[in-house]
């Protein structure tokens, strides 16, 4: 593994810097918190879907397999709490769940306001993102609490899992919880997945992917730490997407060989590299140096691991550079991306503050270093 990591680092250092095309605005209106997936089933197999949060509305855009041009194809507003929605993730069912066949597209997001109690609501699309209908609610909180960043995954038993960041447990400032459903409609009670022993710490932003090996991989952040690691990315793995180890364990922190790491809003996507594990590409809001200072590569860097995210992370160029990326609800907040079909490029999405003070999301493509072998 160390040899692979060293070879990957040398490949990056010796490869010519890629020429990046100028980012292109997805829309000219308010748009933030992008989340993108590549469809694997149905008529639009290979197409790219992106969900964006606007003013009280979720906009869905789609591009062809090559990802050269995006157009808006769908939009919806949650009728229960139309005045607020946040931090939604897209997911395509890899197999049938209940009456939903493989290829059904789901969106899960936080809906509501603190004074009314936030809910993790799920919407369903049967036509690759063009039309939407409300499906169910996988979790909720009492008024005054917080329930954020729901993410969906189908475990090895074929059940739909809904992961979320829950702020209302009496012994934890925040923990990552989960509810489970056999049909996507009726959900179990909440259970803890990451609830670290120091209850002041705040795990959140869970995102789960199934690797080519069949193993499951979770990236998340832990905030409010008392030292330089104030809101950093962590990860853990599971053989079945059910058992994730001791909830009290913080997990492993992905770092480069020279100690760089991401702070805030980690997001991952997978890419093929000709190995059984595949690449994991990690994006985050802020890039930090080993000494805890903002790194010169902040806002224009992603991490790549060639062995399923186990170790050996190295840097690659972010498709959309966000100058001055910082702890902010717009500037590079939750960047997202999907790999090209051959795994040689990253099609990325990131938000930044526009000249008029609103938040706009752009996309671009960057080259990924060749697999070092």
pLDDT confidence of residue 11: 40
**pLDDT 10s digits, 160-177:** 999 999 998 888 999 999
* β-bridge mates for residue 302, sequence order: 316
Q: Residue ranges of the domains in the chain?
A: 1-66+258-373, 78-253
Model confidence, pTM:
0.93
Q: Classify the phi-psi angles of 265: left when phi > 0, otherwise alpha if psi is within -120 to 50, otherwise beta.
A: left
For the beta carbon of residue 191, count every other beta carbon within 10 angstroms. Answer: 11
What does the DSSP 8-state code read for residue 17?
Answer: P
User: Please, what is the average pLDDT of the chain?
Assistant: 91
Please tell me the distance from the alpha carbon of residue 167 to that of residue 86, in angstroms, as a whole number: 15
**Tokens at residue 335, please?**
């960047």
- Predicted local confidence at residue 98, as pLDDT: 98
Topology of the domain comprising 78-253: Neuraminidase (2.120.10)
**What's the pLDDT at 169?**
81
Locate 188 and state its tokens: 């179990």
The predicted-structure confidence for 78-124, as pLDDT tens digits, reads as follows: 877 655 688 999 999 999 999 999 999 999 999 987 667 789 999 99
Residues 295 and 287: beta-carbon distance below 8 Å: yes
The tokens for 318 are 């972010």
Edge-to-edge strands of the sheet including 24-25? 24-25, 359-367, 345-353, 336-339
Residue segments in the chain with a per-residue pLDDT below the cut of 50: 1-19
Nearest Cα residue to 288 out of 267, 303, 273, 308: 303
Token pair 């992905």 is found at: 254
The answer for 263, left when phi > 0, alpha when psi is -120 to 50, beta otherwise, is beta
From residue 371, alpha-carbon distances to 103, 255, 269, 303 in Å are 30, 19, 16, 14
**CA-closest candidate to residue 291, choices 261, 332, 257:** 261
Q: What is the DSSP string of 60-96?
A: EEEE-TT---EEEEEEE--SSSTT-EEEEEEEE-SS-
Within 13 Å of residue 80, how many CA atoms lie on the same side as its CB?
20
Tell me, letter by letter, the H, E, C secondary structure of 169-180. Answer: CCCCCCEEEEEE
């Amino acid at each position: 593994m160390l040899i692979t990591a060293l070879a990957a680092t040398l490949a990056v250092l010796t490869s010519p810097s890629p020429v990046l095309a100028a980012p292109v605005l997805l829309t000219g209106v308010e748009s933030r918190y992008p989340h993108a997936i590549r469809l694997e089933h149905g008529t639009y197999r290979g197409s790219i879907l992106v969900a964006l949060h606007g003013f009280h509305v979720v906009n869905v855009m789609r591009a062809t397999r090559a990802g050269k041009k995006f157009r808006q194809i769908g939009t919806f507003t949650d009728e229960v709490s139309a005045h607020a929605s946040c931090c939604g993730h897209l997911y395509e069912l890899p197999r049938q769940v209940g009456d939903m066949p493989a290829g059904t597209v789901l969106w899960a997001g936080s809906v509501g306001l603190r004074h009314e109690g936030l809910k993790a609501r799920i919407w369903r699309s049967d036509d690759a993102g063009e039309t939407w209908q409300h499906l169910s609610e996988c979790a909720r909180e009492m008024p005054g609490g917080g329930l954020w960043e729901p993410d969906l995954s189908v475990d090895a038993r074929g059940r739909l899992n809904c992961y979320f960041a829950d702020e209302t447990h009496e012994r934890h400032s925040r923990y990552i919880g989960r509810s489970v459903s056999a049909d996507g409609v009726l959900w179990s009670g909440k259970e803890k997945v990451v609830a670290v022993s120091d209850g002041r710490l705040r795990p959140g932003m869970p995102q789960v992917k199934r690797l080519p090996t069949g193993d499951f991989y979770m990236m998340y952040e832990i905030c409010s730490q008392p030292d330089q690691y104030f809101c950093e990315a962590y990860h853990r793995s599971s053989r079945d997407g059910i058992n994730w180890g001791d909830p009290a364990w913080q997990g492993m922190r992905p770092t480069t060989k020279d100690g760089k790491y991401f702070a805030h809003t980690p997001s991952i996507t997978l890419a093929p590299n000709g190995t059984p594990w595949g690449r994991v590409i990690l994006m985050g809001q802020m890039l930090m140096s080993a000494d805890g200072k903002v790194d010169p590569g902040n806002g224009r860097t992603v991490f790549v691991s060639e062995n399923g995210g186990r170790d050996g992370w190295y840097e690659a160029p972010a498709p959309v550079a966000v100058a001055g990326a910082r702890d902010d609800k717009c500037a590079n907040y939750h960047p997202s991306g999907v790999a090209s079909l051959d795994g040689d490029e990253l099609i990325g999405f990131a938000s930044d503050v526009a000249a008029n003070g609103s938040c706009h999301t752009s996309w671009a493509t960057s080259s990924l270093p060749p697999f070092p072998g």
